[in-house]
Amino acid sequence: MSIWGIIRIALKSLTRNKTRTFLTMLGIIIGVAAVITMLAIGQGAKKIVEDQVNSMGTNVIMVTTNFSQSSSNVRQAAGSGNLLEVADVTAIRDQVEGVLYASPVFNSWGQMKFEGNNWRTGVMGVDADYFYIRDMKTSSGDLFHASDVESGTKVCVIGKTVADNLFGDVDPVDKIIRIRNIPFTVKGVLTAKGQNVMGSDQDDMVVAPYTTVYTRLLGSHWRNMMVLVSAESKDAIQIVQQDILDLLQSRHRGTTSEQFDVRTQTELADTANSVSNTLTILLASIAGISLLVGGIGIMNIMLVSVTERIKEIGIRMAVGAGKRDVLLQFIIEAVAISIMGGIIGILLGFGAAKIVGNTMKWSIAVTPWSVILSVGFSMAIGIFFGWYPASKAANLNLIDALRYE
């Protein structure tokens, strides 16, 4: 008999026992939904990490000093061992091939004031290159320029969080705020970037020319400096990284490579990615176990169903159903259950992923391959766990089956 005929028979016998069919399906539904949701959450986490890493800028290299690794092997106070100078930045920019931009970064803190409002936050002293490295733009007003840095003007751009807390509804552009009582003109407000990989608010900061920060805000005792470099391409990063290290060593005689820490955004991304991958695998394997349990549920019910339907099988065989017909009927029943369960599970998983995404404000990504994977998997489960009961049914002795009570 044709395969379509058997499919019809199988589907008919499923619809004849709707409750049993649904209960069997439930295991697969939950399993598939769990896999889809978990993979979506894992993918979402990965995407967030990627976005955050990208928000740091493109092809960024960070150069810092390793404080604890002094040549005498004596741990020194932070900052006192800082070897980097502004001249190093210029050297990196001019002498290392493949470097697009380089900027010093001086970090400081200060109390900001605008009229009655107060806000305490970090102040970054940077070169105008910094905006290109970090891919920063303003949502209103303007960035400051190289000329501002050269002349050490008291200007700054502020992050969105600072603008909200200090100005409220007032437009901050061209207003004067006081940072540690020193007046700075706000040139612009930066486009919001959200949280970074470490979870801190990237919009809660003020950026000013490093010359101004250096002379006005930093005392001579605290000049901890970092250099931010952007390479011209992803491929160039590794060479540039090494070249910077070599250059710094040649500029500072008697230093070892351990004293400089040249890190790339890719390394950071790799670490974050491996964490989120581990998370995804963990979640997916838990979900996979529930899918497996669902499959065993199918086998269980199919076995019970074979016993319950021994007589039916006997009747079918007596009127001309062959072994193959019975085998196929039961396998198709199992596969149909798991595919239908799989489809419902996918829809449910989609829904669950959406809800999780909305409540946690994550961009949840249901990837096509997770759908293909779970459908394929549930079909395989249907065939795998349907085979044993089906062959049991097909190999029943006709007479025994007919006389079975």
Partner 1 sequence: MQKRLLSTESLTKTYIMGEIHVHALRGVDLSINSGEFIAIMGASGSGKTTFMNLLGCLDKASTGTYILDEIAVHAMSDSELTLIRNEKIGYVFQSFYLLPRTTALENVELPMLYCRKCSLHERHQKAMHALDVVGIKDRAKHFPNQLSGGQQQRVAIARAIVNDPVFLLADEPTGNLDTRTSIEVMAVFQALHKQGKTIILVTHETDIANYADRLITFRDGRIISDKVNPNPRIAADDLKTLPKMDEED
Q: Which of 312, 347, 387, 404 binds partner 1 (CB under 8 A)?
A: 312
Kindly give the pairing relationship between strand 117-126 and strand 99-114.
antiparallel
Number of amino acids touching partner 1 (CB under 8 A) = 25
Contact range with partner 1 by CB under 8 A, out of 7-15, 49-57, 58-66, 192-200: 7-15
* Shortest spacing between CB 337 and partner 1, in angstroms: 18
* Shortest spacing between CB 398 and partner 1, in angstroms: 5
Among residues 46 and 316, whose Cβ is nearest to partner 1? 316
Q: Which of 100, 325, 350, 384 binds partner 1 (CB under 8 A)?
A: 325
Interacting positions 209-268 with partner 1 (CB under 8 A): none
Phi first, then psi: give them for residue 2, nearest 5 degrees: -70, 155
Interacting positions 10-29 with partner 1 (CB under 8 A): 12, 16-17
Contact 93, 240 (CB under 8 A): no
369 to 398: interface string for partner 1, x by CB under 8 A: -----------------------------x
Contact status: 351 vs partner 1 (CB under 8 A): no
Q: Residue 106 and residue 118: Cα distance in Å, rounded?
A: 22
Among residues 14 and 89, whose Cβ is nearest to partner 1? 14
Q: Which of 322, 360, 376, 380 binds partner 1 (CB under 8 A)?
A: 322
Q: Which amino acid is at 53?
A: V
Q: Which of 74, 253, 319, 359 binds partner 1 (CB under 8 A)?
A: 319
Among residues 9 and 179, whose Cβ is nearest to partner 1? 9
Contact range with partner 1 by CB under 8 A, out of 253-261, 272-280, 309-317, 336-344: 309-317
Contact status: 402 vs partner 1 (CB under 8 A): yes
Contact status: 321 vs partner 1 (CB under 8 A): yes
Q: Which of 75, 120, 263, 311 binds partner 1 (CB under 8 A)?
A: 311
Q: Residue 102 and residue 59: Cα distance in Å, rounded?
A: 12
Contact status: 315 vs partner 1 (CB under 8 A): yes
Interacting positions 197-216 with partner 1 (CB under 8 A): none
Residues 6+ apart with CB under 8 A from 171: 140
Summarize as ranges the residues that interact with partner 1 (CB under 8 A): 1-2, 5, 8-9, 12, 16-17, 311-312, 314-325, 398-399, 402
